[in-house]
């Protein structure tokens, strides 16, 4: 069973609403279906590191093997929980995670927001009720997230920067930075963004690239960040 992979990007493509990459790992090419958000970042070179890391869900069907790749273990575990629901296949799981974050799905489950969940293509009323019922009873289904981010006044005021910082979190994980390093970095980033809020919030300066560069500068200049 393949559960994790690290390698170089060989190719990527889209087939209808499915997004694929091929990763070269020690001379073997692994075809992996990934989420649209990561596909876009790879295609537009927002993630440029040659060595990529994905958590994998390996599914065997008859004579074929399928790999589904996720930047974080939380995403993989959540996808696995979705697959444990009777009648839900891998494409429904990917469609849910393509359209909504884990937090959004869990909030919808907690509030029994059937309209949000049923807005995903292929998810009807009965399936929506089944998702809410079964995931509601999972003790490990809880809203995840960096507490430093949730407490930040900046994030409460600006959903766009909140979204960018969540993407930065996933990107740093893919670049092999540890959770400890990332946890120590985010309060620094938030302080820096708050300090320069007026200039950063100008339309032409709000960007994933700007904040990622800020993060990488701090990581490069503080090699003991995770110590």
DSSP 8-state class, residue 123: -
- Among 43, 70, 97, the domain-final residue is 70
Q: Provide the domain limits for residue 109.
A: 73-136
Query: Any idea what the CATH number is for the domain that residue 131 is in?
Result: 1.10.150.20
pLDDT in tens, the chain (227 residues): 788 888 889 999 999 989 999 999 989 999 999 999 899 988 888 776 567 888 999 998 877 889 999 988 888 988 999 998 888 889 999 999 999 888 888 888 888 889 999 999 888 888 999 888 888 766 444 444 444 444 444 444 455 677 677 778 878 877 778 878 888 888 888 887 777 665 544 544 557 777 888 888 888 777 544 44
Q: How far is CA 26 from CA 7, 43, 59, 87, 131, in A?
A: 8, 23, 22, 36, 39
Query: E-strand spans in the chain?
Result: 4-15, 18-25, 28-34, 51-61, 64-70
**pTM, to two decimals:** 0.64
Which CATH number goes with the domain that contains 41?
2.40.50.140
């Amino acid at each position: 069973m393949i559960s994790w992979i690290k390698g170089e990007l060989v190719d990527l493509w889209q087939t209808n609403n499915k997004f694929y990459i091929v990763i070269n790992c020690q001379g073997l090419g692994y075809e992996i279906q990934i989420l649209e958000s990561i596909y876009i970042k790879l295609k537009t070179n927002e993630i440029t590191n040659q060595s990529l890391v994905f958590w994998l869900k390996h599914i065997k069907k008859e004579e074929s093997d399928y790999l589904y790749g996720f930047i974080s273990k939380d995403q993989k575990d959540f996808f696995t929980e979705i697959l444990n629901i009777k009648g839900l296949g891998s494409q429904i799981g990917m469609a849910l995670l393509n359209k909504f974050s884990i937090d959004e799905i869990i909030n919808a489950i907690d509030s029994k927001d059937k309209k949000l969940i049923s807005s995903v293509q292929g998810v009807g009323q009965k399936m929506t009720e089944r998702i809410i019922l079964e995931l509601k009873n999972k003790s490990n289904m809880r809203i995840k997230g960096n507490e430093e981010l949730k407490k930040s006044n900046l994030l409460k005021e600006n959903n766009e920067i909140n979204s960018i910082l969540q993407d930065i979190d996933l990107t740093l994980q893919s670049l092999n930075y540890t959770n400890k390093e990332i946890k120590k970095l985010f309060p620094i980033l938030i302080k820096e963004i708050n300090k320069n809020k007026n200039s950063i919030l100008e339309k032409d300066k709000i960007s994933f690239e700007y904040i990622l560069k800020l993060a990488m500068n701090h990581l490069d200049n503080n090699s003991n960040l995770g110590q």
